[in-house]
Chains A and B, each alone.
Chain A
Amino acid sequence: MSGSTTRNFKANAARELANDTLRAALTKSKGHFTDGRTTAAENLPEFEALRDQSRDIKNHTIENLDFYLEAYEEKVRESGGHVHWARTAEDARQIVLGICRSVDAKAVNKGKSMISEECEINEMLEANGIRAVETDLGEYIIQLRGEKPSHIIAPAVHLTKGQVEESFRANHTHLDPDRVLEEPPTLLDEARTILRKKYFEAEVGMTGANLLIAETGSSIIVTNEGNGDLSQLIPKVHIVLASVEKIVPTLEDASTILRVLARSATGQEFSSYTTLSTGPKREGDPDGPEQYHVILLDNGRTDMIGTEFQEMLRCIRCGACMNHCPVYQSVGGHAYGWVYPGPMGSVLSPGLLGVDEAGHLPNASTFCGRCEEVCPVRIPLPKMMRNWREQEFEKHLSPGTARVGLGLWAFMAKRPKLYQLATGLQMRLLARIGHAKGRLSSLPLAKGWTKYRELPAPEGRTFQSRWKSGERPL
């Protein structure tokens, strides 16, 4: 898929690790998300039960996906809307373009949508002379900077306030240089002033969806800025671009999931705005779009059904896994090289891009398990990363040197006598080399280790040989 640099994960990561501003930005946001989630979870006695229910709702829906999608489609039609099926990102782009052209659109207002990123809608619009206006503050900022989101709910989390101010001053040339723009509220005000004007210029408004409801044919978005509401209410046409697994059976199910979503994401009990939209403007409605379109994107997701990765389709895109991931917190979202970073991306991206392209991601994990611990729908992320590693191993995609080393080790590990003989000798040798200092500062076969740390020398003889020769604790 175009636009992915996932293959270069190692180089990307090295570049990001050297970026001190990124480090400052991540350090600042980390505690905010993790402490927030902890408190929110502790304050709701039924939080764990709600996680179980959310998991079960999503499992049930995925097992009956065609049924609920068809039911949803019918409801959307009944309410006067249109449903379009997109097998691929290219299909989705063509459908969006077709709708825009049908109303001769010059500009599209956009609410935050990761599916739009996945389908590279902005690039397509611009290439066709249509302006894409991001209305979410974070998305707006990175659009100004020509960047990609680095987080699925906080797209500009990799930036500091200073960098945002810089971008505003560079782009909003009307700004009085003395105007204070240092704090998030003043930055938000400035963005609002610009965006409010633009809301009224666009012919098409496009949003994602946090949930789609089969029972009513509604789509739900949650935001903290209310930008999504304006994007979808003011223009003539509202396009909802969502992936198929966003569907849930009923409003009741949606409310169960919403109760864990914001708590897991930001630690809020509920996002500031939860907006349902069902069909176009009806007679007597004070406002609303004339046309309502839903584009349902598959793009490889249904291929995951029936495989060991099916459970990944439960993901509700809360971002908790990356907020708690020490690898994500070290390298930031851009290192992952595509739309979905962090643990969820490490499982999903190989599914959508292929394991040849995204093979690094499931390997770049210590399996510390924090992601699974906080995932509101209890996705066993480490287990699925291991499944990808197994596929890579079987396809011989893992590096040759690592395979030889591992093969040799496994050969020995399966032969205890030989193992004990060989390791006994090696350890005594290492102990002798590291004897004076108690540690080794460099070792040819352990460069990855000794580049950054000392290798503690072994004490001498192995435990097993000492035990066998009769040594016992005093």
Chain B
Amino acid sequence: MSEAPRVALFVTCLVDLFRPSVGFAAVKLMQDAGCTVEVPEAQTCCGQPAYNSGDRKDTIAIAKQVIAAFEGYDHVVAPSGSCAGMIMKHYPELLADDPDWETRATDLAGRTHELISFLTDVLKVENVAAAFDGTVTYHDSCSGLRELGIHDQPRQLLDGVDGLHLRELEDANVCCGFGGTFCVKYPDISNRMVSNKTEQIVATGAETLLAGDMGCLMNMAGKLQREGANVRVRHVAEVLAGMTDTPAIGEPSDGSAN
């Protein structure tokens, strides 16, 4: 590439708030692949909580704010299939009645990518220089899988991680029961769904569970821990970036993070 692509990181609200490590891992992966990464300041959330609650007006306001904040970058990348899917598939539809904004939304949608598929499909990364000793299993988050077709990409990169062994999860394509506000609006149903999931995770015998979306990861980690299962949970970017010194999701820290 002649000039380093200028990439804006859409960090996503959950990574921003709960797991900054994933943001830094994303930045590292993209920098290693030759990108200049920036983090636009005017970002909060992609608007899905409002969108999925039927609050169209607030969703549109948030979408416009995101569109404005991310104008001018070669690419916009999110470490989440769900948030990337929101921008890529739903913003243009939401703004379809407003020609100016629709054009801007479509332009942003065309420049937006989910992190792992951005690495493999756009930057043509074939191998990451990372090592991870152990057996992992992988859950395909719904939006990434079904809205964006992300399935092979993470497996391809994980395959190149030294010492890592991937054991496939049965029903890896079935929802974990997170569903944003669903998990607190219908806790009993969500619980059944996540219990089915953790049962299958434990059955793989893997020590670590990986996925590409913080919401699903927090849901599955929280359930595994409540059940006392001996499985660590991480965002796939952490492993690919070789940044696994931080405690896994929901595990006690060594006290230096504050």
**Are B189 and A17 touching (Cβ within 8 A)?**
yes
Q: Beyond the given A366-B182, A449-B184, A459-B253, please list 16 additional residue pairs across the A-B interface where CB-CB is below 8 A.
A: A10-B186, A364-B186, A365-B182, A369-B143, A386-B52, A402-B185, A413-B44, A414-B58, A446-B184, A453-B219, A453-B226, A454-B221, A456-B250, A461-B257, A463-B39, A472-B24
Interchain CA distance A153-B31 in the complex, whole Å:
53
A163 close to chain B: CB less than 8 A: no
Consensus secondary structure, chain B interface:
helix
Interchain CA distance A423-B192 in the complex, whole Å:
31
Q: Among the listed stretches A77-85, A90-98, A430-438, which one makes contact with chain B, having 4 or more residues with CB under 8 Å of it?
A: A430-438
B91 close to chain A: CB less than 8 A: no
**Are A459 and B19 touching (Cβ within 8 A)?**
yes
Residues of chain A from 261 to 298 with CB closer than 8 A to chain B in the complex: none
Q: Closest approach, in angstroms, between the C-beta of B126 and any C-beta of chain A?
A: 21
**Are A366 and B20 touching (Cβ within 8 A)?**
no
**Are A428 and B258 touching (Cβ within 8 A)?**
yes
In the A-B complex, the 8 residue pairs with the closest CB atoms:
A366-B179, A389-B54, A453-B222, A448-B184, A393-B54, A456-B250, A368-B175, A463-B20
Closest to B32 in A: A473
Q: Note all chain B residues with C-beta closer than 8 A to A326.
A: 174-175, 177, 193, 196
B121 close to chain A: CB less than 8 A: no
What would 12 A/B residue contacts be, using CB atoms closer than 8 Å?
Answer: A366-B177, A391-B54, A414-B44, A416-B41, A416-B43, A435-B258, A437-B252, A446-B184, A453-B223, A454-B223, A461-B258, A474-B28
**Are B192 and A17 touching (Cβ within 8 A)?**
yes
**Could you tell me how many residues of chain B have their Cβ less than 8 Å away from some Cβ of chain A?**
79
**Are A454 and B53 touching (Cβ within 8 A)?**
no
Q: Note all chain B residues with C-beta closer than 8 A to A103.
A: none
Q: Note all chain B residues with C-beta closer than 8 A to A392.
A: 54
Number of A-B pairs, beta carbon distance below 8 Å: 230
B125 close to chain A: CB less than 8 A: no
**Are B25 and A473 touching (Cβ within 8 A)?**
yes
Q: Closest approach, in angstroms, between the C-beta of B59 and any C-beta of chain A?
A: 8
Task: Given A365-B179, A368-B179, check contact A410 B62 (CB 8 Å).
Answer: yes
Q: Closest approach, in angstroms, between the C-beta of B72 and any C-beta of chain A?
A: 17
Closest to A474 in B: B28
B residues adjacent to A (C-beta < 8 A):
11, 15-21, 23-25, 27-28, 31, 39, 41-45, 47, 49-56, 58, 61-62, 65, 69, 142-143, 146-147, 173-175, 177-194, 196, 218-219, 221-223, 225-226, 241, 243, 246-247, 249-253, 255, 257-258
Task: Given A453-B223, A464-B39, check contact A459 B257 (CB 8 Å).
Answer: yes
Q: Note all chain B residues with C-beta closer than 8 A to A454.
A: 221-223, 225-226, 250
Interchain CA distance A129-B75 in the complex, whole Å:
71
Task: Given A369-B146, A419-B44, A432-B258, check contact A462 B17 (CB 8 Å).
Answer: yes
A residues adjacent to B (C-beta < 8 A):
10, 13-14, 17, 326-327, 330-331, 363-370, 372-373, 386, 388-394, 398, 402, 406, 409-410, 412-414, 416, 419-420, 423, 426-428, 431-432, 435-439, 441, 446, 448-449, 451-464, 466-468, 471-474
Q: Closest approach, in angstroms, between the C-beta of B220 and any C-beta of chain A?
A: 9
Q: Closest approach, in angstroms, between the C-beta of A370 and any C-beta of chain B?
A: 7
The answer, among B20, B183, B187, for a CB contact under 8 Å with A459, is B20
The answer, among B16, B56, B226, for a CB contact under 8 Å with A462, is B16
Closest to B250 in A: A456
Q: Note all chain A residues with C-beta closer than 8 A to B223.
A: 452-454
**Are B187 and A456 touching (Cβ within 8 A)?**
no
